[in-house]
Amino acid sequence: MARPASVACLSGLEDKATCHTGQDANGAYYAIAVPKHWNRSLVVHAHGGPDLGDGSDPERSLGDLGRWQVMVDQGYAWAGSSYRRGGYGTRMGATDTENLRRLFVEEFGRPKRTYVHGQSWGGDVAAKVAEMYGGRGGPYDGALLTNGVLGGGSRGYDYRVDLRVVYQYYCDNLPRPSEPRYPLWQGLRPESTLTTAGLRVRLQECTGHESPPAERTALQQRNLDDILAVTRIPERTLESHLRFAVFTFRDIVHKRLGDRNPFSNWGVRYSGSHDDKALNAGVERFSADPTAVRDLSYDSDLTGRVEIPVLTLHAIDDPTAFIEHEAAYRDTLAGAHRDRHLVQTFTNEHEHSELSDSEYANSLTALDTWVRTGRKPTPRSIAASCAAFDRTYGTGCFYDPEFRPSPYASRVRPRPGGWSWPAMTAAQEKAWSRVEGVGIAP
């Protein structure tokens, strides 16, 4: 395996760090930045997505370094893997993240402290890193999870399952009546050549979502109103959620689970439409293959068995990873009797992919102080410390230290048996680990 190559740093880091890229033994591209005034601590970053390309994307880790260069600006070395392939695989992402940490140590020496950070699906990956490699005496000192998809895979996508079937009930164009039929839990039939642009056309046909309200037909407006009311998905991210329920579901089902179905909507009663009785009578129903549920759960669900400090930062109006994911994670750690390791913070922001640099810097410092001193911060103390960073970055501090998210089931209709957390207990994980071929292959 080639050693990391020195490269020119991205704009904003040219005079502050040395930058390096490479590809690990499993084919995962990565990017590394080491500040010229390094504080001897490392942030290992887990990216979101998942991206759906076949191979590792060398641009992904570079783009993430650009987005989170505030961490390098604060004196932390930063390392991010693009993962060895595209497509779903939480444990794969966790393993590739840990492999990059080891590579960093070989090349640059052992840091005093190491933190794992993940945003979006990367929050799930980073939380999995904390569980797999963050035991007592392990290499990780803390975890920072921002806008994380922390409900795991077996329950965390149920609202997209609901979107998939509700959309088809009203729109009947995915597939169209003239096209081959397939069960909607597949997302999209494997042979389909539909593109994201084609999906956008169909969504526009049915709902007029890209048009001003005055230019929509009465049927388009009613379809849009019903879909949004039933699924509780924000209009501004309707298309992105539908893309996931089509293309990423196809990746999960066809490429990762051998065409087995991990999703169910039996026992779900849909409400909020102009005619709930007709909707519930006509919407497609299906039940999951228990082995597919097991494999998706083993790959992506969290047990809550953490031994290191975990700090979360989440926008209350996150339109992609709903704030109720934090309630699921809180209940997961409480169910494992590990919630003493958790501090959650919430902000009055409306974005998913990028939060305030002042808050990122503040959060990382709060986590580092917690690790170094053993004094657990509070949402109020973290909110109070942000102003000092905002004097440098000027991107705002939007904390609401009194906020507490409602239970996950208040936002996403639970399936029978899906009320308690964790979704996968440590005992289940241990038992399933003995099953040959369990989970999702890297």
> What is the rounded CA–CA span in Å between residue 145 and residue 205?
38
- Using the predicted structure, report yes or no on whether residue 151 has a pLDDT greater than 70: yes
Q: Which DSSP string do the residues of 89-121 spell out, in sequence order?
A: -HHHHHHHHHHHHHHHHHHH---SEEEEEEEEH
Average pLDDT value for residue range 305-317: 98
Q: Which amino acid is at 92?
A: M
Q: Supply the angle between the helices 290-300 and 90-108 in degrees, to the nearest 10.
A: 20
Confidence class of residue 28 from pLDDT cuts 50, 70 and 90?
very high
Work out the average pLDDT over 233-247. Answer: 97
In 3-state terms the chain splits into helix, strand, coil percentages (rounded to 5) of: 45, 15, 45
How far apart are alpha carbons 180 and 200 in whole angstroms? 20
Question: Could you give the percent of the chain with pLDDT greater than 90?
Answer: 96
Report the Cα–Cα distance between both ends of the chain, in Å, rounded: 19
Could you list the beta-strand ranges (E) of 273-410: 310-315, 342-347
Centre a 10 Å sphere on the Cβ of residue 155 and count the other Cβ atoms it contains. Answer: 23
3-state DSSP assignment of residue 375 = coil
Strands in 310-315's sheet, in edge-to-edge order, are 5-7, 17-23, 29-35, 77-81, 41-46, 113-120, 142-148, 310-315, 342-347
Q: State the chain's mean pLDDT as an integer.
A: 97
Predicted local distance difference test score (pLDDT) of residue 178: 97
pLDDT, residue 418, reads: 82
Residue whose pair of structure tokens reads 């068995």 in the numeric block:
305
Q: Which two tokens stand for residue 317?
A: 């109006």
Average pLDDT over residues 335-351: 97
Q: What is the pLDDT at residue 359?
A: 98
User: What are the tens digits of pLDDT across the range 352-395?
Assistant: 999 999 999 999 999 999 999 999 999 999 999 999 999 999 99
> Rounded CA gap, 173 and 171, in Å?
5
Using 50, 70 and 90 to split pLDDT, how confident is the model at 1?
low
Angle between helices 357-373 and 379-393 (to 10 degrees): 130
Task: Look at residue 419 in the predicted model and tell me its pLDDT.
Answer: 85
What is the per-residue pLDDT across 250-279, written as a single tens digit (0 to 9) for each? 999 999 999 999 999 999 999 999 999 999
pTM: 0.96
Q: What is the mean pLDDT of residues 56-82?
A: 96
- Coil, strand or helix: which one is 153? helix
